[in-house]
Structure 1
Amino acid sequence: MSIGPKSRPLNVLIAGAGVAGQALAFWLARGGHRVVVAERFPELRAYGAQVDLRGQGIDAADAMGLLGEFKNNLVDEPGVAFVNANGKPRATIMANTSGKGRQTLTSEYEIMRGDLVRILNDATRDHVEYRFGVSVAGFDQDDSQMTARFSDGTSEGFDLLVGADGQSSRIRRAFLPDGLDPYWRTGIHMAYWFVPLIASDDPLSATQYPRTGRKRTRS
């Protein structure tokens, strides 16, 4: 299947309604293409931990016209403090809010993943067809199109299939069954949980190293 520079608008299927899938859907729809996003969860997965928006990510958000919306949903984290066992700061690195130069450990644009995917969904749902509760179970392709087989038993032809279904992408494994393991095991284990802020909490992200080989962070 070939796609020339002056081809007709494409019929595109994106597997995964996360940050990458929705961002791509935004640009494809803006370019006049028909876009279907298949998400195996029954609704938008608007949750997750903090995301640092940096460098090209900031430029991309600005080009999408969404930077103002991102700014309205930023996490209040002015910097990061390294504290001792008593919570006393031993070193502090503040965010670079000058608009110039590189970001520090704390980005000027810190946003929760849930807010980020909601913003992208709000910007695309009137121009993109979202199908929740359905996944790409398999596909076949020839010189004219790709035919996707969905988990609900239906099938449909598309010009292009994009796997934006995460690190354990089923689409990637189907295309590259002998590809590299997507996980690089380092022996490091991390756990995240959410604790509501109270009035006396310092907005700085606090990091403590209780002992060699361990680290505790509060954001």
Structure 2
Amino acid sequence: MTLRILVTGASIAGPAAAYWLDRTGHDVTVLERTPEPRTGGQNIDVRGLARDVLERMDLLDAVRRAGTGEVGLRFVDEDGGTVSEFPAHAGGDGGDGPTAELEILRGDLAEILRDACGDGVTWWYGDHVVDLDDSGSAVTVTLAGGATHEFDVVVVAEGPRSRTRDLVMTGDRTPVLDRLGMYSAWLTVPRTDADDRWWRWLNVPGSRSVHLRPDNTGSTRAMLNVMTDETGLADLDPHDLRAELRERFADVGWETPRILAALDDADDLYVDDLTQVRCPTWSHGRVVLLGDAAWCITPIGGFGTSLALIGAYVLAAQLQRSSSPDEAFAAYESWLRPLVEESQDLPPGAPRVANPRSRAGVALFRTGTRLAASGPVRAVTSRLGSGSGSGSDEQRTLPELDAS
């Protein structure tokens, strides 16, 4: 089949799908809501079979060169003292513990993927889908700007709250949005002499945590986490959001005052109500879901970027070897869903266990990390934070794909 394919979303899953769909002979257009490529984003990683995907794209070295330089995870106390640490290559796991071998900023990986697509892919920015009409033989796509276009297949590679997905996944196909009860706020802060190449993590009572992680641009990436049953925090306007974060973290020590002081100047502040997406099916007619729109793992699962890369490859491979989109979509879902479901199956108590409410709970958690970091049990616990699916996928083999 040679198909006219629209991919909506240009973060990770979208460009990766565009790369493979173009290489397998399709006419590919990528549509992105923002007026230009997204360059921001926090630390993400690539693990397991996703490394094989990058190697088949001849991008493994490029991703490694663009890495953040993170050397491992260090839990700290309110004075910045080390509680426990997990070096990147501890436990003989090839760097797939809390810090993976391939740590990179989201914007950098997206740029590498976009550049790899070359001239064979068409990019549309500053517009989005408002209607999809699937006739059975083609999909008529109406954009917010008023234009209509016809495609053979639409790949929805958007975020967990995808509006394009919700145009077609209705009734018994409606996805379940499973809130984890945790908000994460990400921002970039100026680097200081106190910063090093470790991912530093402070837990404090009130189910709160503060994180600082290195980047490769001369700054530092910060994250503030809080668990709460409240809803709507991510929808606050920028002024109220900054005030809310200051209030919730005002009593926290270590580097927290520095992070709060940087809020007003941070033009990349982003807050997310962490939510897993569970879709009864990933396709309907000639529309198929990919990445977070289909199966958001959340950063707690730790394998979302890798699944986006794996899913993009598997989708293209199944389209190449199938006689119809329906057949391809069914094979794609059959191959990938077990890995997705395992990755969404978070460890017992997560994320609550890593975000204790009380001082006693924080003390117990710190004791647990010290035990986990000790030599006798490090090999067993080295996958803390690495994602449920990153080990099991090593038992699988990617389907063959003939790329031109």
- When the two structures are superposed, what TM-score results if normalisation uses the length of structure 2? 0.50
1:60 counterpart residue number: 53
Q: Distance in 2 between matches of 1:90 and 1:193?
A: 25
Whether the 8 Å CA contact 2:130–2:164 is kept in 1: the answer is: no
Partner-residue secondary structure (3-state), 2:111: helix
The 3 A distance-change label for structure 1 pair 123 and 99 is: farther
Whether the 8 Å CA contact 2:94–2:101 is kept in 1: the answer is: no
Among 153, 163, 167, the alignment partner of 2:160 is 167
The 3 A distance-change label for structure 1 pair 47 and 130 is: same
CA offset at residue 100 of structure 1?
5.3
Residue deviations 1:104-145 (CA, integer Å, cap 9, x gap): 111111100010111111111411000111211212122321
* Higher RCO (Cα < 8 Å, 6 or more apart): 1
1:181 has 2:185 as partner: no
Q: What does 1:11-160 align with in structure 2 at a 5 Å threshold?
A: 11-96=4-89, 101=94, 103-160=96-153
Q: Distance in 1 between matches of 2:81 and 2:95?
A: 27
Whether the 8 Å CA contact 2:90–2:97 is kept in 1: the answer is: no
Q: Distance in 2 between matches of 1:91 and 1:137?
A: 50
Whether the 8 Å CA contact 2:73–2:200 is kept in 1: the answer is: yes
CA offset at residue 71 of structure 1?
0.9
CA offset at residue 102 of structure 1?
6.4
Whether the 8 Å CA contact 2:30–2:123 is kept in 1: the answer is: yes
Q: Distance in 1 between matches of 2:44 and 2:60?
A: 14
Whether the 8 Å CA contact 1:97–1:108 is kept in 2: the answer is: no
Partner-residue secondary structure (3-state), 2:34: coil
The 3 A distance-change label for structure 1 pair 148 and 25 is: same
Q: Distance in 2 between matches of 1:19 and 1:217?
A: 23
Partner amino acid, structure 2, of 1:46: T
Partner-residue secondary structure (3-state), 1:126: helix
The 3 A distance-change label for structure 1 pair 80 and 53 is: same
1:4 counterpart residue number: none
Q: Distance in 2 between matches of 1:10 and 1:98?
A: 46
Q: Distance in 2 between matches of 1:103 and 1:10?
A: 37
Q: Distance in 2 between matches of 1:160 and 1:99?
A: 43
Among 202, 220, 225, the alignment partner of 1:208 is 202
CA offset at residue 195 of structure 1?
1.6
Residue deviations 1:8-32 (CA, integer Å, cap 9, x gap): x111011111100110000000001
- When the two structures are superposed, what TM-score results if normalisation uses the length of structure 1? 0.90
Q: Distance in 1 between matches of 2:122 and 2:142?
A: 17
Whether the 8 Å CA contact 1:36–1:128 is kept in 2: the answer is: yes
Residue deviations 1:180-199 (CA, integer Å, cap 9, x gap): 333x2232222222123234
Q: Distance in 2 between matches of 1:196 and 1:76?
A: 17
Moved more, 132-141 or 194-203: 194-203
Q: Distance in 2 between matches of 1:108 and 1:194?
A: 22
Partner amino acid, structure 2, of 1:181: V
2:298 counterpart residue number: none
The 3 A distance-change label for structure 1 pair 143 and 165 is: same
The 3 A distance-change label for structure 1 pair 117 and 98 is: farther
Q: Distance in 1 between matches of 2:188 and 2:28?
A: 35
Provide structure 1 residue ranges, at least 5 long, that are not aligned to the other structure: 1-6
Sequence identity, in percent?
34
The 3 A distance-change label for structure 1 pair 160 and 64 is: same
Among 191, 198, 210, the alignment partner of 1:197 is 191
CA offset at residue 218 of structure 1?
1.2
Moved more, 147-156 or 90-99: 90-99
Moved more, 90-99 or 186-195: 90-99
